Structure 1
Amino acid sequence: MAKPTIIIYQAEENSSRIKVQIPYVMKTEREKFKTFHSAFYHPNQKLWSIINTAENWERLQKEFEHKIEIKKLAKFRPLPQKTTNEKIQAELAKAEQKLILKAFSPNTIKAYMNEIKTFFSFFETRNFSEINKAEIESFIYHLISKYGISETKQNMCINAIKAYYEHVLGQPREYYDIQRPKRSLNLPNILSKSEVAKLLQTPKNIKHKAILFLIYSSGLRISEAINLRVKDIHSADGYIFIKAAKGKKDRRTVLSPILLKLLREYYRAHKPSYWLFEGQEGGQYSAKSIQNTFRKAVTEANVNPWATVHTLRHSFATHLLQEGTNLRYIQSLLGHSSSKTTEVYTHVLAINNKNIKSPLDFLGDFGISGEGEPKSGP
């Protein structure tokens, strides 16, 4: 019988993590891997990972020596970037104009135009208005089988094609009954209260600190934080006004007294004129700057390395539920149209609620001492 082997997947140059597969029988090696800084287990992939650095590569090979095998992760080919002909360029301009007139958001238009361009390039010799449903489904299947597009990408592509035929060509809605992928029921990634506290205390820059405090304390999307104006902070009435958020809906969300105190300190230091957060050259602060601030805070606070800025919004909702806030209030604060979207946080809460016991706990302890319990992972 072949000896079990630790598989290290060769990380790309720009990859942030090194992924490692450790067979279940290699318990000693797994415990040793857990001692690595930033070691993290991914239950869905059944893989471990650590931050991709030269030092970590060297330590992996030194610690496990002859027990490792290095492999490449299977990759799909990237979508080709083709030069568009005059016919496609004219049709793209027509589509973009129509979507603008229909008041689609700039981000949606940009995303749809990328998908429509790929669609046009695939059928470049055809009359686009004559392409039927079966051919569209064949095109989607081609993208999945050859390029491994994600479910999100697949849905975006279908939505873009639907928008083209419905809004640009004015074809009937029945035409768009295209097979959709079954949506993954993934639970949102959240940080514990102690992790959030560590993360928020990390930034020394007052603007960076105020942005992270704001996003968590009010449950904002990154785009909503960027679009906040100074006048949207209603300190006297205790709320923050969110104008034309996702779905072009206005809403109000909670204004924490702690956040208000920090925002006043920030305002005295930076004196923003119109946007609450402005760049060094004026104008709105960028999403990239917020993401960089968050990533630096995650690293320095040594919390879940897979957290994103949006994780703060997920954590806001989950922590409110833990404190007993009514789900309808949370739905309103988050700006969800459907309560079903908000209900996903009840699943997170149920899994993390230490007041709920497993039925195994009612059967006795079976004389198990609890010694040698794993810190994380299986």
Structure 2
Amino acid sequence: MRKIFVTSCIWKKKAIAIVRFDYDQELISLIKTLPMATWNSQQRAWLFPYSEGILQELLRLFKGKAWIDYTGYTSIIAEQLPANLPELAPDLYQEIRKFTAWMQHTRYAESTVKTYSQNLSLFFRFLHNKPPEQIQTEDLENFHQNYILRRKYSVSFQSQVINAVKLYFSNKQKRKLEPIEIERPKKPKQLPHVLSKEEVKDILQAHKNVKHRTMLSLIYACGLRRSELLNLKLEDVDSKRGMLRINKGKGAKDRMVPISDKIIEMLRAYYLIEKPESYLFEGSKKNTAYSEASLQKVLKTALSKARVKKPVTLHWLRHSYATHLLESGTDLRFIQELLGHSSSKTTEIYTHVSQKSLQKVKSPFDDL
């Protein structure tokens, strides 16, 4: 029978439970159903905030699926914990599990489910495990003032936490928390990072590995998000029509984007070598999607080989795709459709970084 090892310790001043097992897609799918599960590449294990009930939860989850060795799992008493926030109470852990199940049933994005679950846990811990039925608007205002602002967390984090708490109380507690003292600051309007075509070419051609080169090329060629690339299936490539189907992109929206003959030839060459069976890009095991961490490493290696010193991310390739389209004369409305943006305002940001638009502006210095 498959074996799972569960240990506990204090790591980075936090009490955690550590779960390790050999790669197994069924076990991975099971552990992802737990709201606080987080994969840590440094530990090469799944991490959970420590709680008295986590071991029983794991035993229940994997009953009949694997044998659990928890000889390394010891209780962590309150005195061992850092003097920041207490551990999450078992009853509140169960409450978050129910909230997570509700979000999954309502088809919230996986990333949203995970973020909201973690943020709600943080909120409960800040209130020292105060029963939800006793929590009032003043508690959320206190959390905002004495935790988020005092620690100078970002505007995005502030919105995520408040949204998570409000969603939980409106849908699970059937009442609203309407904080008056909390102002929602506007998110800073940061311009997208754009690479030159020469830089993109150097990055895409850096890998000799056909699979790695094809993945990065497809992101740029079709303006894909990371998750959209990894979720592609073989049947999503329509080579006869020259179209690529993207299923459940951001906001659970499907869309179609054109795919050039050059990329189709690259995909054919890749297919003959790798012969994927389900996902277009599979991991070390067949019928499993390529991992996000591995894709990040593919980009990091390409940047090193291409000697690109900029802190390029995968999303820079998507930004560059949109900007280069705009510079070549593509209508902004078509770019909006290709990127899957709900609002044209989101797409209009590329006009601020388009070289074609900016170079038309003549500096008054030239007239001196």
In structure 2, the residue matched to 1:166 is 170
Q: In structure 2, do the counterparts of structure 1 residues 279 and 132 end up closer, same or farther at CA, with 3 Å as the change threshold?
A: same
Query: Is 1:193 aligned to residue 206 of structure 2?
Result: no
Q: Residue in 2 aligned with 1:227?
A: 231
1:126-275 residue pairs with structure 2 within 5 A?
Answer: 126-172=130-176, 175=178, 178-275=182-279
1:83 lines up with 2:112 in the alignment:
no
| Higher Cα Rg, which structure | 1
The separation in 1 between residues aligned to 2:237 and 2:179, in whole angstroms, is 43
Residues 275 and 284, structure 1, Cα contact 8 Å, conserved in 2? yes
- What is the aligned partner in structure 1 of residue 64 from structure 2? none
The answer to whether the aligner puts 1:301 opposite 2:306 as a matched pair is yes
Alignment of 1:1-378 (within 5 A): 82-172=86-176, 175=178, 178-282=182-286, 283-349=288-354, 353-361=358-366, 363-364=367-368
Opposite residue 83 of structure 1, the aligned amino acid is: E
8 Å CA contact 1:88–1:124 kept in 2: the answer is: no
Q: Sequence identity of aligned pairs in percent?
A: 39
Q: Is the 8 A contact 2:333 2:344 kept in 1?
A: yes
Give the Cα separation in 2 of the matches to 1:324 and 1:223. Answer: 28
CA distance in 2, matches of 1:81, 1:207: 45
Structure 1 pair 284–80 and aligned structure 2 pair: CA distance change class (3 A): farther
The one-letter amino acid of 2:220's match is Y
Name the CA distance, whole Å, in 2 between partners of 1:228 and 1:357: 45
Kindly state the Cα deviation for residue 124 of structure 1 after the two structures are TM-superposed.
Answer: 3.0
Structure 2 CA distance for partners of 1:217 and 1:80, relative to 1, 3 Å: farther
Cα distance in 2 for residues equivalent to 1:321 and 1:92: 45
Given the two structures, how large is their TM-score scaled by the length of structure 1?
A: 0.71
User: How far apart are the structure 2 equivalents of 1:150 and 1:285?
Assistant: 31
Give, as a single letter, the amino acid of the residue that structure 2 aligns with 1:106.
E
Structure 1 CA distance, aligned partners of 2:305 and 2:172? Answer: 49
Aligned to 2:43: none
Residue 351 of structure 1, CA deviation = 8.4
Other structure's SS at 1:175 match: coil
The answer (yes or no) to whether the contact 2:207–2:213 under 8 Å persists in 1 is: yes
Cα deviation for residue 270 of structure 1 reads: 0.7
Shift of 1:254: 2.0
Aligned AA for 1:170?
K
Gaps of 5+ in 1: 1-77, 365-378
Moved over 6 A (4+): none
Structure 2 distance, partners of 1:246, 1:277, is 20
When the two structures are superposed, what TM-score results if normalisation uses the length of structure 2? 0.73
CA–CA distance in structure 1, aligned partners of residues 359 and 268 of structure 2: 37
User: In the TM superposition, what is the alpha-carbon distance from 1:229 to its structure 2 partner?
Assistant: 0.4
Q: Match of 1:359, as an amino acid?
A: P
Does the 8 Å CA contact 1:137/1:179 hold for their aligned counterparts?
Answer: no
**Conserved? CA contact 1:113–1:160, under 8 Å:** yes
1:140: Cα distance to partner? 1.7
Q: What secondary structure sits across from 1:267 in the alignment?
A: helix
Per-residue displacement from partner, 1:299-324 (whole Å, max 9, x unpaired)? 22122421101100000000000001
Distance 1:260 1:284, change over 3 A: same
Output the amino acid matched with 2:124. Answer: F
2:360 and 2:280 mapped to 1: Cα distance?
41
Number of the residue aligned with 1:27: none
- The one-character-per-residue Cα deviations of 1:60-95 (angstroms, maximum 9, x if unpaired) are xxxxxxxxxxxxxxxxxx995642212212221221
Aligned residues: CA RMSD: 2.1
- Give per-residue Cα distances to partners, 1:21-52, cap 9 Å, x unaligned: xxxxxxxxxxxxxxxxxxxxxxxxxxxxxxxx
- Aligned partners of 1:88 and 1:121 also within 8 Å: no
Greater alpha carbon shift after TM alignment, 291-300 vs 82-91: 82-91
**SS of the residue 1:252 aligns to:** strand
SS in structure 2 opposite 1:241?
strand
Q: Which has the higher contact order (CA 8 A, sep 6+)?
A: 1
Query: What SS does the aligned partner of 2:245 have?
Result: strand
Structure 1: which amino acid aligns with 2:328? E
Q: State the SS of the aligned residue for 1:208.
A: helix
Aligned length: 285
- The C-alpha deviation readout for 1:249-269, integer Å capped at 9, x for no partner, is 100112021111100100111
Separation in structure 2 between the aligned mates of residue 260 and residue 155 of structure 1, nearest angstrom: 41
Select between 102-111 and 138-147 the one with higher mean Cα deviation: 138-147
Assess if the C-alpha contact under 8 Å between 1:232 and 1:240 holds in 2: yes
Q: How far off is 1:342 after superposition?
A: 0.6
Q: Distance in 2 between matches of 1:141 and 1:120?
A: 15
